[in-house]
Amino acid sequence: MFVERSENGLVVHTPAKINLALEVLGRQTDGYHAVETLLVPVRLFDTLVYSATTDPLQFSLRVASQVENTGLDGPPRDNLAVRAIQRLAAISGHEPSGRICLYKRIPAQAGLGGGSSDAAAALVAANVAWGLGYSRERLSRIAAQIGTDVPFFVVGGAAFGTGRGERLVRAPIPAGMPIVLVQPPVGLSTPKVFESLGLAVGEGLGGGTGRCRKLMNCLRRGLPIQRARPLIRNCLQRSAEKLSCWIARASDVMDRLPVLAHQMTGSGSAYFGICRTWREARLVASRLRMQPWQFVAATQTCR
């Protein structure tokens, strides 16, 4: 996440993420699923501009792929950046005021963490603009109340996540890994994907296979992706395949392209491939752009 000042206020460029591995261990008593996951930020950024004003909170959205502008409106209640500002205001005693302009490039309902990243950007911006001086740790605890993936973006960098995915430790994953992303024309709902695992409350919760830790160690030691390929797995992919035919389709397409490993990210529906070089990622992306995907990008992991 990069923060800069402009004449319009604070400008925050906030990344997307992919889950290099995701394992579901069981279902907690609070209904959430206990997971282990390896999360890495990728160079695909939303931009949030926050201007501190004394007026009630205003919100405008521009979606890059649709080039639509909803204009300045009252805040939509389901937007995570708006919820983040309202939550921080409630905790700090500050008025939930100001103006959020959000320029979205990260596709929604994709498992790329776009909404969570926007929420983290809003927290970081308001913390500065309101002069709260909260530490990243404190902001991260507030972030966890907004959504599972929000703390990951507040803290920044690659991370190993446990609990429902909100408990994080830094993961030594190299930046600059070439990635190609595709988003099907149909998104997936996170609760529905988790629900279709069919786990009852309290079910499972064993120790898991330790796959995420093993993958983290392989990458730290600089082993080639080909050797780590069996560890690059997402337990939610099967459930997502039951809900959308596009996931298996993405898998088939990637099988026929020069990618080292591929899988769905998070709860989908976006799908990624890891390429040998940046040039190859761009080549694969240009071939995917000839097909009916809603969004295709050549990108890379970042810090």
Q: Is 33 in the site for ligand C5P (CB under 6 A)?
A: yes
* Alpha-carbon span 265 to 282, nearest angstrom: 19
- Shortest approach of ligand C5P to residue 160 CB, angstroms? 14
| Residue with smaller CB distance to ligand C5P, 58 or 148 | 148
- Which residue among 14, 79, 117, 148 contacts ligand C5P (CB under 6 A)? 148
Region of 9 (left: φ > 0; alpha: ψ -120 to 50; beta: rest) is left
Q: Which of 147, 178, 187, 268 binds ligand C5P (CB under 6 A)?
A: 147
Peptide bond into 269 cis (omega under 30): yes
One-letter amino acid for residue 238 of the chain: R
Closer by beta carbon to ligand C5P, 31 or else 172: 31
**Rounded least distance, CB 281 to ligand C5P, Å:** 28
Site string for ligand C5P, 227-266 (x = CB under 6 A): ----------------------------------------
Q: Are 278 and 122 in contact (CB under 8 A)?
A: no
| Residue 84 three-state SS | helix
Q: Which of 191, 202, 210, 224 forms a contact with ligand C5P (CB under 6 A)?
A: 191
Count of residues touching ligand C5P (by CB under 6 A): 10
> 14: which residues sit within 8 A by CB, 6+ positions away?
1, 45, 46, 47, 48, 117, 118, 120, 121, 153
Least distance to ligand C5P from the beta carbon of 25, Å?
Answer: 10
| Euclidean distance between the first and the last CA atom of the chain, given in angstroms as a whole number | 9
Is 194 among the residues that bind ligand C5P (CB under 6 A)?
Answer: yes
Catalytic annotation present for 17: yes
* Catalytic site residue from 46, 104, 118, 149: 149
Q: Which is nearer to ligand C5P, 9 or 147 (CB)?
A: 147
Segment (H or E) for 114: helix 114-129
303: Cβ contacts below 8 Å, ≥ 6 apart: 41, 156, 157, 158, 175
The distance of closest approach from Cβ of residue 164 to ligand C5P in the complex, given in angstroms and rounded to an integer, is: 4
d(CA 103, CA 47): 5
- Determine whether 149 is an active site residue: yes
Strands 97-104 and 33-56: antiparallel
Applying the rule CB under 6 A, the residues between 149 and 188 that interact with ligand C5P are 164-165
What single DSSP character describes residue 204?
Answer: B
* Catalytic residue chosen out of the listed positions 17, 46, 104, 118: 17
Specify the stretch interacting with ligand C5P by CB under 6 A; choose among 27-35, 51-59, 153-161, 222-230: 27-35
Distance CA(161)–CA(194), nearest Å, equals 17
Which of 3, 26, 32, 52 binds ligand C5P (CB under 6 A)? It is: 32
Angle of CA points 153, 106, 163, to nearest 5°: 35
Residues at the interface with ligand C5P (CB under 6 A): 32-33, 35, 147-148, 164-165, 190-191, 194
Catalytic residues: 17, 149
